[in-house]
């Protein structure tokens, strides 16, 4: 509970401040782990992206089922199949996140980490655009400038690449649509329930992939040494842990803080691709990335200013009511 000050304006308690700090740390760790994913997936070669997807789904499912079991909520999975709306939403979300995971893994393992990073830089702009087109949300002037700048950046990069940056656009749109579905679902599900539902509906595909790769002699789970096998098993951990950290952060910190923290992952991905994995970024392409960053800076500053204004109005109303 906030402490009232002499001026009638509430001040966070020590407990609330501690929660905010913990939430920020959890969020930073989540995006730090997501930012390191390119290096992890690069270490999974010679596994194919399809094998990585199959193992990622199955090991994530096992981890989530274990967590639900410990919480006494394993029955929720059966309830999901009785709720047609929930099952449809989980199936759609599973298809979107499977597409996102596959394209991302293909990008990383084929030397296109910078394009993948661009996709996650574009994601906030695509999310805002979807809010206007699909939810009839109204944008503030600065948000229109940000979206317009992002559109200019997209056109520039398309000309620069000589073709549509399909990796970036697929990642941005699949994750933005995934977020839209989760928004419609609301906060009725925990992070573990959500990931469990998505991996349950993806499980038949994942099992089929693993069996097909084994039958055709393309699997690398065995025959590449214990280290490689362990890395594939741990794809479940690197999938579930950041999500749980993010969930722990989401209800402790303001949305603006989450919005600013999310840029950590693509920045690290870009640096990892260029500095560690040796991808080449022509100077002309940095110009396109620069335009995207300008759009994101405008969007972030506007979010911070708007959030601050909302808090001041709320405090003023609080003071008037005292």
pLDDT at 180: 80
pLDDT at 54: 93
Residue 15: CB atoms within 10 Å:
9
Residue 230, C-beta contacts closer than 8 angstroms, at least 6 positions apart: none
CA angle 3/13/305 to nearest 5° reads 90
Q: Which of 2-6, 21-25, 218-222 has the highest mean pLDDT?
A: 218-222
Q: Which runs of consecutive H residues, i.e. helices, occur in the chain?
A: 14-35, 37-42, 49-70, 76-82, 84-109, 113-135, 141-161, 166-185, 191-215, 226-233, 235-250, 255-261, 264-271, 283-321
Query: Cβ distance 135 to 176 under 8 Å?
Result: no
* pTM of this prediction exceeds 0.75: yes
Pick from 76-85, 162-171, 279-288, 304-313: least confident: 304-313
Cα 123–chain centre separation: 9
Query: Cβ distance 63 to 138 under 8 Å?
Result: no
Q: What is the average pLDDT across 220-241? A: 92
Q: Can you tell me the distance from the alpha carbon of 262 to that of 65, in angstroms, rounded to the nearest whole number? A: 27
State pLDDT tens for residues 29-85: 988 998 899 999 989 999 999 999 999 999 999 999 999 999 888 888 888 898 888
Q: Residue 193 above 90 pLDDT?
A: no
State pLDDT tens for residues 134-187: 777 777 888 788 888 888 888 888 888 888 889 999 999 998 888 888 777 666
Nearest to 261 by CA among 273, 274, 246: 246
The share of the chain scoring above pLDDT 70, in percent, equals 86
Tokens 């096992």 identify what position? 62
pLDDT at 6: 46
pLDDT band at 103, cuts 50/70/90?
very high
Please report, for residues 94, 190, 282, the alpha-carbon distance to residue 273 in angstroms, rounded to integers and kept in the order given. Answer: 27, 33, 13
Q: What is the average pLDDT across 198-213? A: 93
Domain ranges, ordered by start, for the chain: 21-310
For the four alpha carbons of 78, 79, 83 and 87, in that order, the dihedral sign comes to: negative
| Tokens (6 digits) for 162 | 């000589």
Pick from 98-112, 211-225, 290-304: least confident: 290-304
Residue 309, C-beta contacts closer than 8 angstroms, at least 6 positions apart: none
pLDDT at 1: 46
Pick the more confident residue, 113 or 187.
113
Pick from 45-49, 140-144, 247-251, 292-296: least confident: 247-251
Q: Which of 55-64, 182-191, 257-266, 291-300 has the highest mean pLDDT?
A: 55-64
């Amino acid at each position: 509970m906030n402490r009232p000050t002499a001026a009638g304006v509430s001040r966070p308690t020590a407990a609330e401040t501690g929660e905010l700090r913990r939430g920020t740390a959890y969020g930073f760790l989540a995006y730090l782990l997501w930012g390191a994913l390119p290096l992890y997936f690069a270490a999974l070669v010679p596994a194919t992206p399809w094998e990585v997807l199959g193992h990622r789904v199955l090991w994530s499912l096992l981890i989530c089922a274990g967590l639900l079991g410990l919480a006494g909520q394993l029955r929720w999975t059966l309830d999901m199949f009785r709720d047609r709306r929930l099952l449809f939403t989980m199936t759609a979300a599973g298809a979107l996140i499977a597409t996102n995971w596959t394209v991302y893994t293909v990008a990383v393992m084929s030397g296109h980490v910078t394009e993948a990073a661009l996709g996650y830089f574009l994601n906030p702009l695509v999310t805002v655009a979807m809010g206007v087109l699909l939810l009839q949300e109204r944008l503030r002037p600065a948000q229109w400038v940000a979206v317009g700048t992002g559109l200019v950046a997209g056109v520039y990069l398309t000309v620069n690449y000589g073709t549509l940056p399909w990796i970036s656009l697929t990642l941005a749109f699949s994750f933005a649509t995934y977020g839209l579905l989760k928004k419609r679902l609301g906060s009725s599900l925990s992070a573990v329930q959500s990931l469990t539902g998505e991996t349950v509906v993806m499980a038949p595909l994942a099992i089929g992939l693993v069996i097909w790769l084994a039958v055709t002699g393309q699997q690398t789970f065995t025959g590449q040494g214990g280290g490689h096998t362990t890395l594939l098993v741990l794809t479940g951990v690197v999938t579930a842990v950041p999500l749980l950290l993010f969930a722990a952060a989401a209800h402790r910190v303001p949305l603006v803080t989450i919005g600013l923290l999310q840029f950590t992952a693509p920045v690290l991905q870009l640096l990892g691709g260029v500095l560690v994995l040796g991808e080449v970024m022509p100077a002309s392409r940095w110009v396109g990335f620069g335009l995207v960053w300008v759009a994101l800076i405008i969007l972030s500053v506007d979010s911070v200013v708007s959030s601050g204004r909302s808090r001041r109005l709320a405090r003023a109303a609080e003071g008037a009511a005292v």
